[in-house]
Amino acid sequence: MFVSAIIAAGGRGQRFGAAEPKQLLKVGGRPVLERSVSAFLAHPTVDEVVIALPQELVDDPPAYLRAAAKPLHVVAGGARRQDSVANGFRAAATASDVIVIHDAARPFASADLIARTIAAAAECGAALAALAARDTVKRGDNATGVVAETLPRDSIFLAQTPQAFRRDVLQAALALAGRDAVDATDEATLAERAGYQVRLVEGEASNIKITTPEDLPIAEAIARSADAFARPGSLERDGVSRAVRTGRAGTGYDLHRLVAGRPLVVGGVTIPSDRGALGHSDADVVCHAITDAILGAAGFGDIGRHFPDTDPRWKDASSLDLLARAARMVAAEGFEVGNVDVTIVLETPKIRDHVDAMRRAVAASIGIDADRVSIKGKTNEGVDAVGRGEAIAAHAIALIRAR
């Protein structure tokens, strides 16, 4: 499945009243636009990112939009949000199966929310993140200034982004808007008017939209809380020093059967052997175990959740690439990998002559120095399937910390 992300950042923030577009304002020391874009650039399910910007920013984009690890396209926005999205849609790859749209003014969408919205759209055609109303909802009469009716709260949802669509659904929705001059505040509305059902995906309270200056203190609090969660040292507030975590650890484990006719890829290195590990990808137990450890440290689940073996996209995939995607995913949440330690359990062949090459390959994939990667080899002393030479296994631990 090929996924394109469109970041709607074409507005000039007139309601915000600032001298520069609100998406360029800094929250927690980082521009709002950078936070939003990095969440999708780092997401393992997203293959390319298209950003719709005001023309002056297209001509001179910020440095963080000039280079990326995956395809990144900058296009001019339009007079309305839906015009910006239409411009982004035309720039997106024609091979895209799902297109996810996100407001640049929502800088705190989590990787999990992005993944759940994309998965829902792939299944049913259209989906949007939304929060159930918590307060009693009243419909007012603007002419008289009194309550016209009380709406049932359990049927009211507050729309957010991301919103995601199968390509054909979004194409039909945008075509309807252009043909019938439909004006809508989000693409889900266009899809509804085109006759499609839109699935609700549980949103996040922290996924706020920065619209007015009054939203900035809330955004700063969210950014401060997220950044302080793992920043080394302590946080001082009102003269009281509070301990802050210096890092988070995660563990990983992987095992694959050994069969004839497969290459034996371990730690990104192909080792001469008459048998290799059986798996959907290249079955690299070292990379899989480290990926699980990194994802686990960040609370993102496991490798099967993000790179399922039921998805043909990951058929024969390089596990070094999957590891790199996981590292970028946690980087989007403000973390870096401190170090990893791996134990490979294999009877034969011996790996000692390949350890240094493995360390370099793994380190390059994660984006750290090789001296922060430890790889060791053990046998299982003839015990169980691994000991009989029928399988290979790996145990890993990873430490992540705030950047």
pLDDT given for residue 226 in this prediction = 60
Q: At what angle do helices 167-180 and 81-91 cross, to 10 degrees?
A: 130
Q: Is residue 233 part of a domain?
A: no
Shared-domain flag, residues 312 and 191: no
Q: List Cβ neighbours of 54 (8 Å cut-off, separation of 6 or more).
A: 10, 11, 12, 21, 76, 77
Give Cα separations from 113 to 43, 97, 159, 163 (angstroms): 11, 19, 13, 10
Identify whether the C-beta of residue 49 lies closer than 8 Å to the C-beta of residue 99. no
Domain with residue 291: its CATH number is 3.30.1330.50
Side-chain-side CA neighbours of 237 within 13 Å: the count stands at 8
Distance CA 30, CA 177 (A): 35
Shared-domain flag, residues 210 and 339: no
Q: Is residue 240 part of a domain?
A: no
Shared-domain flag, residues 57 and 20: yes
pLDDT given for residue 51 in this prediction = 96
Shared-domain flag, residues 262 and 398: yes
**Confidence (pTM):** 0.64
Shared-domain flag, residues 185 and 157: yes
Shared-domain flag, residues 300 and 337: yes
Shared-domain flag, residues 32 and 162: yes
Identify whether the C-beta of residue 227 lies closer than 8 Å to the C-beta of residue 361. no
Distance CA 199, CA 306 (A): 21
Sheet with strand 275-277: strands edge to edge: 275-277, 248-260, 391-402, 335-345, 373-378
Maximum CA extent, the chain: 84
Question: In the structure encoding, which two tokens stand for residue 285, read together?
Answer: 């137990």
Domain containing 267: what range?
A: 248-402
Q: Is residue 94 part of a domain?
A: yes
Sign of CA dihedral 105, 107, 108, 114: positive
**Domains identified in the chain, total number:** 2
Going by C-alpha positions, the residue among 366, 398, 367, 402 that lies closest to residue 247 is 402
Shared-domain flag, residues 216 and 254: no
Bridge-based pairing of strands 98-103 and 157-166 is: antiparallel
Three-class secondary structure of residue 30 per DSSP? strand
pLDDT given for residue 67 in this prediction = 77
Q: Is residue 28 part of a domain?
A: yes
From the CA atom positions of the chain, what is the Rg in Å? Answer: 24
Shared-domain flag, residues 66 and 192: yes
Q: Is residue 85 part of a domain?
A: yes
Shared-domain flag, residues 300 and 155: no
- Out of 228, 256, 274, pick the residue that ends a domain: 228
Domain with residue 192: its CATH number is 3.90.550.10
- Out of 173, 194, 228, pick the residue that ends a domain: 228
Shared-domain flag, residues 255 and 221: no
Identify whether the C-beta of residue 267 lies closer than 8 Å to the C-beta of residue 361. yes
Q: Is residue 241 part of a domain?
A: no
Q: List Cβ neighbours of 48 (8 Å cut-off, separation of 6 or more).
A: 3, 4, 5, 70, 71, 72, 73, 92, 93, 96
Alpha-carbon torsion angle 70, 76, 78, 82, nearest 10:
-10
Which stretches of the chain drop beneath a pLDDT of 50? 229-245
pLDDT given for residue 228 in this prediction = 55
pLDDT in tens, 94-150: 999 999 999 999 999 988 899 999 999 999 999 999 998 888 888 898 888 899 999
Q: Is residue 199 part of a domain?
A: yes
pLDDT given for residue 224 in this prediction = 76
Shared-domain flag, residues 270 and 381: yes
pLDDT given for residue 237 in this prediction = 38
Q: Is residue 213 part of a domain?
A: yes
